[in-house]
Amino acid sequence: MMFRHSSNHRSVTTAPWQLVCGLALGIASGLAGCGTGPKAEFSYREATQKLIPVARKAIKDTLEDGFGTPHNLVAWERFPVAYGGAKASVVAAAEGVQPASKTISVSVEGDVSKLASGASVLWLTGTRAGEKAAADTVDTYDTKTKTLTWSGSAEPAPGVGDVLIVGFGHALQKGRAVYMKNCMHCHGVSGDGNGSTAQFLNPRPRDYRLGVFKFTSTLSAEKVSRDDLHRVVKYGIPGTYMPSFLLLGEEETKSVVEYVRWLAMRGEFEKRTDDDLGDFTEDSIVDTVKKSKTAFDAAKVAYDATLKAGDKDAVKPDAPIKLTDARKIATEAFAKFQASDLDQAVEDTASFLAEAWTRADDEASRIAPTVPRVADDAASRERGRLLYMSDKTKCYTCHGLLGKGNGAATEDFWKKPGTEELYPRRGLHDAWGNPLQPRNLTLGQYRGGRRPVDVFRRLYAGIKGTPMPGFGKTALKDEEIWDIVNFVMSLQYQSPQPAKTNAGGHVVATDMPEAK
């Protein structure tokens, strides 16, 4: 069964660490395979590695506390991940609860088989809540009398109505096993898209750590929904190396989707925390020192000049900061930050992510056309073609006049986002910095699905992490989007006379009056 735990019953003042429940694991045999390979480890972002040692350590500790390691996953309750387990509550009257025997009568929601001996017991409410989860496990469970005996400390005794979860984290562990077997060699242990086979693939496997997935049914500002990931795992992405895992089985698919979401949350959590600590990098220290030196040099020149001019009152400029001093200052500043603000920053990031990922599965985040598909006739396609060529959508600049994905934009040098620096090669790039080919629309290959609604959603909300913009609500009416859908989906079946173009895909004027 799936269990999503809202953190409502926890007081807000609790530090995040106390919401974290360890899920200790032996190294699963599935992980080990033949012989023992290198131990699986979560990697850290480049940005994390560039931080000064104290900041780096703080991030690594935070991540390990909140998410654990591949061999010892930690399920951080406040994230909307279906960690799995069976929820139960204590039903027996006071005399039924015998603290010394550690036996209680429980009513279980969902799969009773999760109550097997050895399964972890996590107390959500009552006197035992907040105890370390790893400490309690199921000793025996009698299906007839519905009594559960736990092993662990006897005190404090649970009361009637206390809620507990048995086998918490079960789904995440299962997801990890499925992931390690099927996904890891491309997407990497940490979901960084850098598995051992990734280097041979074009397009590159998705790096989950931006929390961005391309083909979604959700609005442009929203995350990917569970259904979207489920579809991708089931049907694959044609035109890429993501194959279909149709025969994986429903439970495996569900659990691997949860695991991928969890990896994405872990990755984005790290990224956002890195961003918060942007001032504490080795680079920025070197930069400060350099700036201080430049300022000193300029001041020195001025000072020397005034001295020469005979001004005895000139103030001697202060010596520039030394690198060691700058490091010390940064380390002290970080210690201050860590003492006062880090917990709050982590808390803010966690609640931001928890909310965003919860919202993704809301019905309100899903794009549903307000009108049925406009009849797919010549008139609609023509309207679509005109919109495609219009300046309202500018489809042709990337996808080309004939939809072959060779528009003029593919010949330009583009700026890296947020900088003035240009990418070293021509053409578009995605949020991961990989070169990106606008889709050739004449191939009939639809990466995000070939249902008309899939193409509609691509146009409505764009493709996340790419320059493909969304036109829904603002630029285009739903009817107009349907016209473009009809036009685009007809391109595969047409063989139009190729217009004369030069190498860059720019039109060579064919109908201009001849010069006299």
Partner 1 sequence: MGKLWSLFFVFSAVIAVALCWFAPDWNWWFPGDGKAHSTLGGKIDDLFHLILIIVAVTFIGTQAALGYVLWRGATIKPEEKALFSHGSHSLEVIWTIVPSAVLLFIALYQLDVWAQFRIKGAIRDSHGKMVRPEPVAELTARQFEWRIRYPAKGKPLQPQPQPDDIYSVNELHIPSGRPVEVTLRTDDVQHAIFIPELRIKQDAVASLKIPVWFDALENRDYEMLCAELCGWGHYKMKAKVVARSDADFDAWKEQASAEQFDDGFRKPAEAK
Q: Does 298 bind partner 1 (CB under 8 A)?
A: no
* Region label for 188, one of left (φ > 0), alpha (ψ between -120 and 50) or beta (otherwise): left
Q: Does 372 bind partner 1 (CB under 8 A)?
A: yes
- Phi, psi dihedrals of residue 131, rounded to the nearest 5°: -65, 150
CB nearer to partner 1: give 211 or 472. Answer: 472
Locate 515 and state its tokens: 């010069």
- Phi, psi dihedrals of residue 74, rounded to the nearest 5°: -120, 130
Strands (E), 214-276: none
Per-residue binding string, partner 1, 56-95, x by CB under 8 A, is ----------------------------------------
Q: Does 370 bind partner 1 (CB under 8 A)?
A: yes
Which residue among 110, 130, 435, 452 contacts partner 1 (CB under 8 A)? Answer: 452
Q: How many residues in the chain?
A: 516
Q: Applying CB under 8 A, which part among 122-130, 334-342, 361-369, 409-417 lies near partner 1?
A: 361-369
Whether the link from the prior residue into 417 is cis, omega within 30° of 0, is: no
Per-residue binding string, partner 1, 166-195, x by CB under 8 A, is ----------------x--x----------
CA atoms within 13 A on the CB side of 286: 6
Q: How far is the CB of 472 from partner 1 (least distance, A)?
A: 12
Q: Does 377 bind partner 1 (CB under 8 A)?
A: no
Q: What is the 3-state secondary structure (H, E, C) of 120-175?
A: EEEECCCCCCCCCHHHCEEEEEECCCCEEEEECCCCCCCCCCCEEEECCCHHHHHH
Instruction: State the Cα–Cα distance between residues 72 and 136, nearest whole angstrom.
Output: 17
Residue 71 three-state SS: coil
* Total residues at interface with partner 1 (CB under 8 A): 32
Which residue among 2, 24, 28, 246 contacts partner 1 (CB under 8 A)? Answer: 246
Q: Does 199 bind partner 1 (CB under 8 A)?
A: no
Q: Does 434 bind partner 1 (CB under 8 A)?
A: no
Q: Using an 8 Å Cβ cutoff, are 250 and 458 in contact?
A: no
Q: How far is the CB of 165 from partner 1 (least distance, A)?
A: 28
Which residue among 244, 294, 344, 437 contacts partner 1 (CB under 8 A)? Answer: 244
CA distance readout (Å), 285 to 50, 292, 325? 11, 11, 10
CB nearer to partner 1: give 114 or 206. Answer: 206
Neighbours of 460 (CB within 10 A): 22
Q: Applying CB under 8 A, which part among 4-12, 208-216, 369-377, 382-390 lies near partner 1?
A: 369-377
Instruction: Find where tokens 């750590």 sit.
Output: 209
CB nearer to partner 1: give 156 or 239. Answer: 239
Q: How far is the CB of 239 from partner 1 (least distance, A)?
A: 10
Q: Does 156 bind partner 1 (CB under 8 A)?
A: no
Q: Does 371 bind partner 1 (CB under 8 A)?
A: yes
Which residue among 238, 317, 405, 427 contacts partner 1 (CB under 8 A)? Answer: 238
CB nearer to partner 1: give 123 or 482. Answer: 482
Q: Does 236 bind partner 1 (CB under 8 A)?
A: yes
Instruction: State the Cα–Cα distance between residues 93 and 116, nearest whole angstrom.
Output: 24
Q: Does 293 bind partner 1 (CB under 8 A)?
A: no
As to burial, measured by CB atoms within 10 angstroms (0-12 exposed, 13-18 middle, 19+ buried), residue 169 is buried
Instruction: State the Cα–Cα distance between residues 150 and 136, nearest whole angstrom.
Output: 6
CB nearer to partner 1: give 57 or 450. Answer: 450
CB nearer to partner 1: give 248 or 408. Answer: 248
Whether the link from the prior residue into 156 is cis, omega within 30° of 0, is: yes
Q: How far is the CB of 244 from partner 1 (least distance, A)?
A: 4
Q: Does 462 bind partner 1 (CB under 8 A)?
A: no
Q: Does 456 bind partner 1 (CB under 8 A)?
A: yes
The residues, ordered by sequence, that sit 6+ positions from 315 with a Cβ below 8 Å of its Cβ are 303
CB nearer to partner 1: give 175 or 369. Answer: 369
Q: How far is the CB of 197 from partner 1 (least distance, A)?
A: 6
Q: Using an 8 Å Cβ cutoff, are 407 and 396 in contact?
A: yes
Which residue among 113, 197, 202, 437 contacts partner 1 (CB under 8 A)? Answer: 197
Q: Does 469 bind partner 1 (CB under 8 A)?
A: no
Instruction: State the Cα–Cα distance between residues 175 and 399, nearest whole angstrom.
Output: 38
CB nearer to partner 1: give 299 or 453. Answer: 453
CB nearer to partner 1: give 86 or 491. Answer: 491
Closest alpha carbon to 296 in 326, 311, 317: 317
Q: Does 496 bind partner 1 (CB under 8 A)?
A: no
Whether the link from the prior residue into 203 is cis, omega within 30° of 0, is: yes
Instruction: Find where tokens 């709050």 sit.
Output: 344
Q: How far is the CB of 453 from partner 1 (least distance, A)?
A: 3
As to burial, measured by CB atoms within 10 angstroms (0-12 exposed, 13-18 middle, 19+ buried), residue 240 is middle
- Phi, psi dihedrals of residue 55, rounded to the nearest 5°: -70, -40
Closest alpha carbon to 6 in 106, 88, 79, 110: 79
Q: Does 494 bind partner 1 (CB under 8 A)?
A: no
Q: How far is the CB of 80 from partner 1 (least distance, A)?
A: 20
Q: How far is the CB of 132 from partner 1 (least distance, A)?
A: 40
Which residue among 282, 453, 462, 467 contacts partner 1 (CB under 8 A)? Answer: 453
Q: Does 303 bind partner 1 (CB under 8 A)?
A: no
- Strand-pairing partners, residue 21, are 75
The residues binding partner 1 (CB under 8 A) are: 182, 185, 197, 235-236, 238, 241, 243-247, 363, 367-373, 444, 450-453, 456-457, 482, 489-490, 492-493
